[in-house]
Amino acid sequence: MEKRSQKRAPIYEALEMFKRRRVVPFDVPGHKRGRGNPELASLLGENCVGLDVNSMKPLDNLCHPVSVIREAEELAAEAFHAANAFLMVGGTTSAVQGMILSVCKAGDKIILPRNVHKSVINALILCGAVPVYVNPEVNSILGISLGMELRQVEQVMKANPDAVAVFVNNPTYYGICSDLPSIVRLAHSCGMKVLADEAHGTHLYFGEGLPVSAMAAGADMAAVSMHKSGGSLTQSSLLLLNQGINADYVRQIINLTQTTSASYLLLSSLDISRRNLALRGRESFARVVEMAEYARQEINDIGGFYAYGRDLVNGTSIFDYDVTKLSVYTLDNGLAGIEVYDLLRDEYDIQIEFGDICNILAYISIGDRIQDIERLVGALADIERLYKKDRAGMLSGEYIAPRVVVSPQKAFYSDKESVPVKEAAGRISGEFVMCYPPGIPILAPGEEITDEITEYILYAKEKGCSMQGTEDPKIENLMVLERREVHGDMVF
């Protein structure tokens, strides 16, 4: 089939044509191009609310695309070197869940690292699949979990030959990459699918000198957050399929949970951003890499902060590193990452992506400018000079290896009771506890609560991390399984 021109943006073009026709709306949405909600039009602009329209024949339908949306998906597949692509309007959460629900059924085993996003565990709750964890090594200084080592993956595969899939982060929030091509070869030799969470890896498809993308590595499916490093609107994402995956079946799975009222603001932003990356992504991400490496060098010259990068690569647990991730270790200044995060926002009007117990992450992408980098570096130098303190008594580490006692689905739907966090050790969690971002659970449903975990939860809360996942908004109590629910259950 002849390749389409990446200069096209069919959804955007259809919206432009629709706008010129001045169609009188007797359909939803009810704001009627903003006339019914002047404050909304004032906030977002008349052009924006004028294009917030419903599905109709000239604009196609995301649930069953036959014209402009289908063409936009085909262009996206070509741009990302995939066999098929789906435009997603429920964020990469919906793309991740689409992948897992497409390959896993109740009782199926899926091999994965524990440092996955909560959307992965949520998918297991929905479908009843059972996690088999490859517990990654932890960098004891930085307090971050590393990649999946090939030998560990092979051991888990041999111990669980009935597993249906392997799930890989490519890269992690902190920029760590596993040996994805080798994991793919190993998994396929065992008849297992490989699913990649590329929420933070859009640029891998367009930049040079960066870690391998999931499609290039031969992974079967990949969830790609276009809105993170690709420039589209928040909540817009892509689900990519390689050869050998039944795209029609995947569409049916997506439609189980995806809205039937897809936002054309999100769809057109995906269309336009794909075109932008296809035409200009190579040079855009070259500038991103240059800015990130410059920032890394300048921050390391401050003293007290450590902006890590390719110096971490060891060929095993850190097979490669995504240098666009400006991850910075802060504890040598006696400051938790979340404290630096708060200082940057409250004192310097700089909003970074996140801060955890040990690190901060400044997300650098195609919209950044060198003067913004200079401002960040200057603020960090100021913080080091003004706020540095003794680090005695500070915790380190964001990953605590869990013991899975019951499946996430069983735990989530079991009878539960509320107990104080300080008294929860020895019980089985019936809910999530996480710092968000990054959204990696400290506790997931079905895992045993330990003294180490409760200490970490209380410390993260004290330091000001944004804690989520619990029924109790104050994170003073945890929902745990009633003891009769645990008795006799299978231990995984």
DSSP letter for each residue of 454-471:
HHHHHHHHHHT--EES-S
- Rounded to whole angstroms, how far apart are CA atoms 95 and 98? 5
Q: How many CB atoms lie within 10 A of CB 106?
A: 10
The token pair at 174 is 């902190």
Q: What pLDDT is attached to residue 80?
A: 98
- Residues of the chain with pLDDT below 70 are 1-3, 396-399, 485-492
Q: Which domains does the chain have, with CATH numbers?
A: 10-278 (3.40.640.10), 281-387 (3.90.1150.10), 408-486 (3.90.100.10)
Cα–Cα distance measured from residue 456 to residue 148, given in angstroms and rounded to the nearest whole number: 24
pLDDT reported for residue 200: 96
Give the model's pLDDT for residue 302. 96
CA distances from 383 to 68, 117, 297, 355, 476 (A): 51, 31, 17, 15, 32
Distances (CA, A) of 5 to 71, 232, 239, 275: 11, 20, 21, 9
Q: What pLDDT is stored for residue 441 in this prediction?
A: 87
294's enclosing H/E stretch is helix 264-302
pLDDT digits 0-9 by tens, 2-17:
567 899 999 999 999 9
What is the dihedral sign for C-alpha 35, 36, 41, 44?
negative
- Res 486: pLDDT: 57
pLDDT score at 485 = 59
pLDDT for residue 64? 96
Q: How far is CA 466 from CA 24, 38, 236, 439, 462, in A?
A: 45, 34, 23, 10, 10
User: pTM for the complete prediction?
Assistant: 0.93
Contact 125, 408 (CB under 8 A): yes
CA–centroid distance for 261 within its chain: 24
**Distance of alpha carbon 267 from the chain centroid:** 19
Check the CA dihedral 389-390-393-397 and report its sign: positive
pLDDT at 491: 40
Q: Residue ranges of the alpha helices (H) in 214-263?
A: 214-217, 226-229, 247-257
